[in-house]
Amino acid sequence: MNVLASIAVLGFLILFHESGHFLAAISQRIRVNGFSIGFGPALIQKQINGVTFAIRALPLGGFVSFPDVGKGSNIPADDPDLLQNRPIAQRALVISAGVIANLLLAWILLAGQASLIGIPNQPDPGVLIMSVQQGEAADIAGLSPGDRIVSISGKSLGTDQEAVKLFINKVQNAPEEKILIERIREDKQETISIKPSNNLGNGKIGAQLQPNFTNEIHPAKNISEIITHADTQFIDFLTRTINGYKGLVTDFGATSQQLSGPVKIVEIGAHLSEQGGSGLILFAALISINLAVLNSLPLPLLDGGQLALLLFEGVRGRPVPEPIQQAIVQSGFLLIVGLSVVLIIRDTTQLNMFQQLISH
């Protein structure tokens, strides 16, 4: 049930992202001929008012399509309602609307949680282990998702992101050295040792970390407290997400090991949903922000890549030639699908259930 809940959240976030593009286009009376969730062949499709709505076989995203001219189309090339004939500012709004929609949704979720469910009380100290890579130091030491680390090398961890930073700094400064940590699992506290591996001179344990949070909440006192809480969490999530993607450039070797594919994301969502509605809302807000930041990257097929082409057009004074655009889109599709497949295979082989199956 928890897995289904996390899958449903991912589907909803993709739907919301594509709806941003769709609504930005139709609100400006720009022609749209397709709205799809997923890629590849359509499993279900229905045409409404000239727009084909579809659910496709590869659930790795979605897209809003616009009619082409030529190829037997009866739409004249100079039709003012074609996206390509609109001013750059209007096209930029359509392209960026998905990112804006995801950021707005994340803030609304956080504010909604604060107003309807309540504001979390100050959590207990420590960091949560969200996932563990097979064969890495955390796995060898016996750490598992859901464990809470409360101290490292005799130093108590604080709360929130500062606890995560302290833990990471201690690990990075101790490659190939044994470290004593205090772990709490199912209300049982014990001291275990862990030996970070050496990754280009920095210690690494192969685990995804999350600040500890509590299920205990209190009702919001007023609208100001709701807005302040939502703003604080939103900025924290956004900053951490941007820093994570920045790490792919500044420290690719270490950060690439923390990349999560659809399988791992669903597993993390299922784990967070065990914390109740509050955990699932936090998962939805965090993934929505991740989708926004990811789509902002200037990579082929992503919104950021299309905005880069649009900027180039504005500087150049005319559009990028169609064959080049097609080549960029096709290469981007292969890159994203290929990376997703690799991450799916890697993450699936690390699932506990899969390990149990192949061991028999």
Beta carbons within 8 Å of 239's beta carbon, 6+ residues apart: none
Task: Report, in angstroms and rounded to the nearest whole number, the Rg of the chain calculated over CA atoms.
Answer: 23
State the helix-helix crossing angle for 88-112 and 223-250, rounded to 10 degrees.
120
Nearest to 34 by CA among 23, 43, 24, 22: 22
H helices within 65-159, ranges in order? 88-112, 137-141
CA distance 330 to 80: 27
- The length of the chain in residues reads 360
Centre a 10 Å sphere on the Cβ of residue 335 and count the other Cβ atoms it contains.
14
Q: Which residues pair with 218 in a beta bridge?
A: 119
Which residue of the set 18, 216, 313, 322 is catalytic?
Answer: 18
| DSSP class of 49 | T
Q: Is 190 a catalytic residue?
A: no
Q: Dihedral angle at the C-alpha atoms of 341, 297, 130, 9, nearest 10 degrees?
A: -80
CB 212 within 8 A of CB 125: yes
Q: What angle do CA 86, 89, 91 make, to 5 degrees?
A: 50
Q: What angle do CA 199, 266, 62 make, to 5 degrees?
A: 105
**Torsional sign, CA 18, 291, 114, 222:** negative
Structure tokens at 316: 């150049």
Q: Which helix (H) or strand (E) holds 303?
A: helix 303-316
Q: Which residues are catalytic?
A: 18
